[in-house]
Structure 1
Amino acid sequence: MSFRRAPLPLAMVAALFPTASMAQMDHGQPQCAAGAELPAPLASWRSPTPMRAAADAKAAARTTLTPGQAVTLTLRQTPTVSYPVRPAKPGGSVSYGGLASFTVAQSGTWRVALGSGAWVDVVKDGKAAESVAHGHGPNCSGIRKMVDYSLHPGRYTLQIAASGEERLTLLVTPSP
């Protein structure tokens, strides 16, 4: 009489014989060494300043971002935010958003780096600027999303919408 063994489920096989590539992965992301280098324009990402997002345009004028300095913005529940321009993805009643302002001194390409997939708009004179590029931050940086805009000198309102979390690290900086 011979006995036939049932095949092991693939998950058990993987657990018994992990490969080097499996050990290096965490849901498709590379494992990160502490303190990975960041390019100069993103250097402040690791030392953000805390800030509370504004709920309307008037308060946003007093909630000033310093270009080149990362902030951890405490957002507000979406229903309490009065956006100057309706975001294309405003989020629902359980999401978070907010406003802040910044000043552009020189024309050029400006980058907004975000630590999550929240929606971002740059607004001036009642119009949202068109983005000129989208990307991800450097591996292991914590920067999930980067959006570039071609901006001219002046004061802008930054709109954050559709965030799933109450806190968001962000940075506005000239793009290299």
Structure 2
Amino acid sequence: MLLTALALTIAVPQCRTYDVRLPAPLAGWTRTAGALDTGGAVTLHAGRDGALSTTVRIRKAGTYGIALSEPGWIDLAPARGKALESVAHGHGPECTTIRKIVRYKLRPGTYRVTVNKLKATRARLMLVRY
């Protein structure tokens, strides 16, 4: 049991600072944006149901991620359509305030982003181009 506790202590990163050495696609995470885009993160307020939604416009086809600061469930759908299947998902890099990134292959157009199961009253989101 002592070895398990020691292993858990070693596995958890000991971060003195957060969001300092972000990889290039996430460089905008510390900047505040007015809308969901690649240049910065937007802070949105969740409703009493723990959900929030916004739209995002994709100008160029490619793989994009939605980065989220809080634990939650991210769905992305065309403006008039059903939720898309993600192509990848995971946690943000160590020593960042990014909790989750879900990636999608997208074509140009407008999409609806919905985040559910939030326990926080607000969350930061950013569009990430890969």
TM-score with structure 1 length normalisation? Answer: 0.63
Q: Within 5 Å, which residues of 2 pair with 1:42-61?
A: 42-49=26-33
Amino acid at match of 1:44: G
| Cα distance between partner residues in 2 of 1:174 and 1:46 | 16
Q: Which has the larger radius of gyration?
A: 1
How far is the alpha carbon of 1:47 from its aligned partner?
A: 2.9
1:75-124 deviation line (CA, Å, top 9, x unaligned): 1112xxxxxxxxxxxxxxxxx11110110011111101111220111111
Partner of 2:93: 138
The answer to whether the Cα contact below 8 Å between 1:103 and 1:155 also exists between their aligned partners in 2 is yes
The answer to whether the Cα contact below 8 Å between 2:31 and 2:39 also exists between their aligned partners in 1 is no
How far is the alpha carbon of 1:68 from its aligned partner?
A: 3.2
The answer to whether the Cα contact below 8 Å between 1:121 and 1:159 also exists between their aligned partners in 2 is yes
Q: Within 5 Å, which residues of 2 pair with 1:56-135?
A: 64-78=35-49, 96-124=50-78, 125-135=80-90
Partner of 1:157: 112
| Cα distance between partner residues in 2 of 1:74 and 1:115 | 12
Partner of 2:128: 173
Q: Which runs of 5+ in 1 are unaligned?
A: 1-9, 52-63, 79-95
| Cα distance between partner residues in 2 of 1:32 and 1:173 | 23
Which stretches of structure 1, 4 residues or longer, exceed 3 Å deviation after superposition?
none
Partner of 1:36: 20
Aligned residues: percent identity? 38
| SS class of match (1:41) | helix
| SS class of match (1:149) | strand
Aligned-pair Cα RMSD in Å: 2.3
| SS class of match (2:57) | strand
How far is the alpha carbon of 1:33 from its aligned partner?
A: 3.0
| SS class of match (1:45) | helix
Q: Which runs of 5+ in 2 are unaligned?
A: none
| Cα distance between partner residues in 1 of 2:14 and 2:32 | 23
TM-score with structure 2 length normalisation? Answer: 0.84
